[in-house]
């Protein structure tokens, strides 16, 4: 049952899949190992590790107390099976409104305000050529008015903590606040006859809302 409950996690893709699928695999492997140990090692260990005289379950005070609490619920479920099934169905149906509000995105998109640009050069590129191309790339990126600063790195450091290939370029592009970005006019149904003030408001709403223009 626990492995079956993780089946939706195995179907995740993208960022959510990379984050949660290892957890689901680890949990499943742990449960499988516990099941194997429970029918092999755990079955014979009590006889050697515990005392020879073991009190039966019916005579154990803890088991008797649990049985006294659990027995009325079992008898009620067996005497009224339709009511028990109806309660379970109502519990499932009560989760439908919550499921409809979850949306389609499992993880919300993160917008940290910066862009990490990591192009890959040719495998046989030299360090001098990689540095020249990096300078040209940074110069082009700094030419956009929406960019605050650009920091690029070509090659890799001589350390085990930087396992990237020497042909991979890592560039961090810091963007200015959205208020300083250029506005891109959009053609609306009222663009042909509305005054210029409405055009400015339309461009401002397009910049701050969903689908805002990005530097191109």
pLDDT in tens, 146-161: 899 999 888 776 666 6
Average pLDDT of the segment spanning 174-182: 87
Per-domain boundaries in the chain: 2-100, 114-176, 185-216
Mean pLDDT of the residues in the chain = 79
Cα 128 from Cα 123, distance rounded (Å): 14
Cα 2 from Cα 178, distance rounded (Å): 46
CB neighbours of residue 134 within 10 Å? 20
- How is 64-76 classified by DSSP, letter by letter? HHHHHHHHHHHHH
Residues 173 and 117 sit within 8 Å (Cβ to Cβ): yes
Residues 123 and 168 sit within 8 Å (Cβ to Cβ): no
Average pLDDT of the segment spanning 195-205: 55
Q: Which helix (H) or strand (E) holds 116?
A: strand 114-117
Tell me the pLDDT tens digit for each residue of 43-73. Answer: 777 767 666 677 777 788 888 899 899 999 8
Average pLDDT of the segment spanning 73-93: 91
Q: Which pLDDT belongs to residue 90?
A: 94
């Amino acid at each position: 049952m626990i492995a079956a409950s993780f089946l939706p996690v195995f179907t995740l893709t993208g960022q959510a899949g990379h984050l949660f699928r290892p957890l689901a695999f680890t949990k499943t492997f742990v449960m499988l190992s516990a099941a194997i140990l429970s029918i092999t090692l755990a079955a014979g260990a009590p006889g050697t590790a515990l005392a020879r005289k073991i009190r039966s379950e019916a005579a154990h005070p803890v088991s008797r107390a649990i049985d006294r609490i659990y027995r009325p619920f079992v008898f009620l479920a067996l005497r009224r099976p339709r009511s028990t099934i109806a309660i379970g169905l109502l519990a499932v149906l009560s989760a439908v409104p919550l499921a409809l509000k979850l949306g389609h995105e499992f993880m919300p998109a993160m917008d940290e305000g910066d862009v990490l640009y990591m192009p890959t050069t040719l495998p046989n590129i030299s360090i001098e050529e990689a540095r020249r191309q990096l300078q040209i790339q940074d110069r082009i990126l700094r030419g956009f008015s929406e960019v605050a600063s650009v920091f690029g790195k070509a090659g890799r450091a001589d350390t085990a903590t930087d396992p990237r290939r020497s042909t991979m370029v890592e560039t961090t592009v810091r963007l200015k606040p959205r208020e300083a970005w250029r506005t891109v006019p959009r053609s609306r149904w009222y663009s042909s006859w509305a005054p210029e003030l409405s055009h400015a408001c339309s461009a401002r709403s397009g910049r701050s809302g969903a689908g805002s223009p990005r530097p191109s």
